[in-house]
Copies of this chain bind each other. A is one copy, B any other.
């Protein structure tokens, strides 16, 4: 099963937008077990688009076109594919009703070309657009290449692919079984180490499959089982997850594609009814800002301080002058005093602190990347951990924030 992705849009060829749509669809297809041999981008030009469609149809079993379904004269994808297939365009009643209703409700004037968005290729399946107006198309071709047409805006394309297209591709190409996925999320272990520890499982994989992905400071594993029923797939995934857990379980912090370490930690704090405050030096508010990105965090996060200068550490936070003089700003003792002090000042259950050298130059004779994280928890002895991060200022601060979150996660 070979698929091919064609993105349509002059703005991509001008370098004005990045073609993340192709990445999204390619990843989903890879997860389903569909091979992509080619991707291409073509501008809003009927002749060149038709040329690409012909070529793609000559070598791929499924051609996915993204973009060019909108109402402007530059939007030519449906028309061009219909021409290639020798089909007419017909109207999707539900989509037309949605468009008409929108213009009636907003009082705006509906021009003729707005109606184009409700048209789809005859004998294809019109795919509902949950977040926009332009319908998608899935054309199953008994005599040749299948076509899937998706809208260009990612906010429309992603839900349409996930809810309308993917189940139909699944049914068409894998009709005797279904795919069930589970994403495991890891922090504190690199992709190469993770893959090494699971080498035999990965080499021997067939069903379930194991697909690792590395992001900044994080790795995920997508486990995918193919089975006739969800119950059987669940059992297969559970067994594989257990095996993985035995080897690298301490680094796993959660599940899911759209999850994150901060979301897991905030959830833990809420469940444990523990409040938190932070004192930040090198991270300069990035840890607190990361907590602040989670909606509803205010029930557990009270705030904190940013002590970028030594005077601020002393005057605002009350770190002892002696400690700063004798041990230095980047030291275990300073980290502990910062964590204790911010916890006391804000009256929270947990106080966390960050002090270190973000670079570009060393500080107090300590190399760039040296970071102390302090953790004060009510009723427990305050601790601090030393980290050495490499790479640049951005990465050091990012890595410090994630390590702080992981420190809390492991302490709860």
- List chain A positions with a Cβ less than 8 A from chain B: 12-20, 22-30, 36-43, 45, 48, 52, 55, 213, 278, 280, 282-289, 291-293, 295, 297-298, 301-309, 311-312, 315-316, 345-347, 358-360, 393-394, 397
Contact = CB atoms under 8 A, between A and B. Distances in A.
A309 B305 contact: no
Chain copies in the assembled complex: 2
B30 A14 contact: yes
A331 to B, nearest CB: 18
Contacts of A397: 289, 292-293
Contacts of A315: 345-347
Nearest to A30: B14
A292 B302 contact: no
Contacts of A316: 303, 305, 345-346
Contacts of A312: 302-303, 346
Nearest to A25: B15
Given A12-B39, A18-B20, A41-B38, A306 B293 contact: no
B308 A301 contact: yes
A169 to B, nearest CB: 15
B14 A26 contact: yes
A14 B19 CA distance: 14
Nearest to A48: B37
Contact of A280 (B285, B293, B298): B285
Contact of A15 (B27, B40, B284, B293): B27
A156 to B, nearest CB: 16
A15 B23 contact: yes
Contact of A309 (B23, B282, B298): B298
3 tightest A-B contacts by CB?
A: A284-B292, A285-B285, A15-B27
A285 B42 CA distance: 43
Given A18-B18, A301-B308, 19 more contacts: A12-B23, A13-B39, A15-B22, A15-B29, A17-B23, A18-B19, A37-B43, A284-B289, A285-B285, A285-B304, A286-B286, A288-B306, A292-B397, A293-B393, A295-B393, A302-B309, A303-B305, A303-B312, A305-B305
A37 B52 CA distance: 11
Interface-centre pick from A55, A287, A293, A346 (highest chain B CB count, 10 A):
A346
Nearest to A275: B309
A197 to B, nearest CB: 20
Nearest to A308: B303
A229 to B, nearest CB: 28
A367 to B, nearest CB: 16
15 contacts: A12-B39, A13-B26, A13-B39, A15-B26, A15-B30, A18-B19, A38-B40, A38-B42, A38-B52, A39-B41, A40-B41, A283-B289, A288-B306, A302-B309, A303-B309
A259 to B, nearest CB: 16
A22 B311 CA distance: 48
Nearest to A302: B309
B41 A13 contact: no
A287 to B, nearest CB: 7
Nearest to A24: B15
A25 B41 CA distance: 14
Nearest to A39: B41
B308 A298 contact: yes
Contacts of A297: 308
Contacts of A42: 37-38
Contacts of A359: 295
A302 B308 contact: yes
A316 B15 CA distance: 48
A151 to B, nearest CB: 19
A126 to B, nearest CB: 26
A275 B302 CA distance: 26
A255 to B, nearest CB: 20
A286 B295 contact: no
